[in-house]
Amino acid sequence: MNIVETTLERIKPVNAELLQQAQAKLDNKTKPLGSLGRLEEFGRRVAAISGTMNPDTTKKVIFTFAGDHGVTDEGVSAFPKEVTPQMAFNMLAGGAGVNVLARHAGVEVRLVDVGMDYDFNGALGLIDRKVARGTKNFAKGPAMTRDQALAALKVGIDQADQCKAEGVAMAGTGELGIGNTTPSSAIIAAISGMPVKDLTHRGTGINDAALANKIRAIEQGLALNRPDPKDPLDVLTKVGGLEIAAIAGLVLGCAANGIPVVVDGFISTAGALIASEMHPNVRDYIFAAHASVEIGHRFMLERIGATPILDLNMRLGEGTGAALAMGLIEAGVKVLKEMATFEQAGVAEQL
């Protein structure tokens, strides 16, 4: 059995009894029933996922997985592929959007090189787990080999196992990779069977002509590679990305270890979709951070069965939405842990 199979075997449904206990505890707090809305869901679910009524939310980590994409040869992005390593250096220096928002939310960012087409020579702070120097152009053939996809999934699983060992309370996904909205659209198109044009958008900001070409490249790649919609690993291998595979691995690993996982935008959700197609119970562990501007995002979320927490017109990626959502999820946990009950506060209950 490979590590993906052993991880899938470890995934169990969340503890339904704890879910109920946590809701009962919330119902005794000094507030009309249900009046803290989704914050109550966050508190209840984090308790059940982590197996305790008193989750310690101190340690929160966002994993930004970075990779390059051969499909950029088709002219699918508004930026050159060199921006991926350039932005990686910016992130290591603490100057990227995710660094700012993670600092704001009290979250650590870890940048993981799963497949950038650049030699970093042991750059300080970068976690080097490079599987390949980018994927191949999926408009011309498969993006990866099955072994590469498995190796990249393992990168994410290893980070989740490490979180368990370190006592990380909540993990977040993020990514960096010029061209990666193209494989993300291809993944939801392959799995849903919906028309590519209804799932493909402007990524970093392409114009109408480039968007038409991006749709053409994805349609060509799907027709050529014929990914099997019933085999998520096949979809990942043929039209996916190395960082998307690592995100899928992180989500699987978090589910296996009982760690809530906060999924960022469009590309992260493509990874989470692969994971949830691999095992139905994975969705119990997922929090969808926000609704991305990318038009295909809501179809991924619908398929996973997740409702986004925020809707801020964001489309940066990196884990920026995850950082913001983590603060709200933590707020829900604090309500569960810290709010006084009617009895403690001497407040009269409903007539």
Ligand X SMILES: Cc1cc2nc[nH]c2cc1C
Ligand Y SMILES: O=C(O)c1ccc[n+]([C@@H]2O[C@H](COP(=O)([O-])O)[C@@H](O)[C@H]2O)c1
Only one residue has tokens 């959502």, namely 325
Per the CB < 8 A criterion, the answer to whether 263 and 286 are in contact is yes
Q: Is 89 in the site for ligand X (CB under 6 A)?
A: no
The residue (of 95 and 167) whose beta carbon lies closer to ligand Y is 95
Region binding ligand Y by CB under 6 A among candidate stretches 17-25, 107-115, 175-183, 218-226: 175-183
Q: Number of residues in contact with ligand Y, rule: CB under 6 A? A: 23
3-state secondary structure 17-47: HHHHHHHHHHHCECCCCCCCHHHHHHHHHHH
* C-alpha dist (Å) from residue 34 to 21, 53, 112, 320: 15, 18, 40, 29
Residues 260 and 196: their CA atoms lie apart, in Å, by: 31
The residue (of 99 and 257) whose beta carbon lies closer to ligand Y is 99
Name the residue whose CB lies closest to ligand X: 79
Of 148-207, which residues contact ligand X (CB under 6 A)?
176, 204
Min dist CB 179 to ligand X, Å, is 10
Q: Is 265 in the site for ligand X (CB under 6 A)?
A: no
Residues 160 and 258: their CA atoms lie apart, in Å, by: 10
**Residue 203 binding result from ligand Y, ligand X, none, given CB thresholds of 5 to 8 Å by partner type:** ligand Y
Contacting ligand X (CB under 6 A), which of 46, 76, 102, 316?
316
Q: Is 66 in the site for ligand X (CB under 6 A)?
A: no
Of the candidates 41, 74, 243, 318, the residue annotated as catalytic is: 318
* C-alpha dist (Å) from residue 219 to 197, 198, 319: 9, 12, 28
Per the annotation, the verdict on 318 as an active-site residue is yes
Q: Is 83 in the site for ligand X (CB under 6 A)?
A: yes
Packing angle of the helix pair 266-278, 297-304 (nearest 10 deg): 30
> 137: helix, coil or strand?
coil
Q: Is 318 in the site for ligand X (CB under 6 A)?
A: yes
Catalytic residues: 318
- Which residues would be at the binding site for ligand X (CB under 6 A)? 79, 83, 87, 176, 204, 316-318
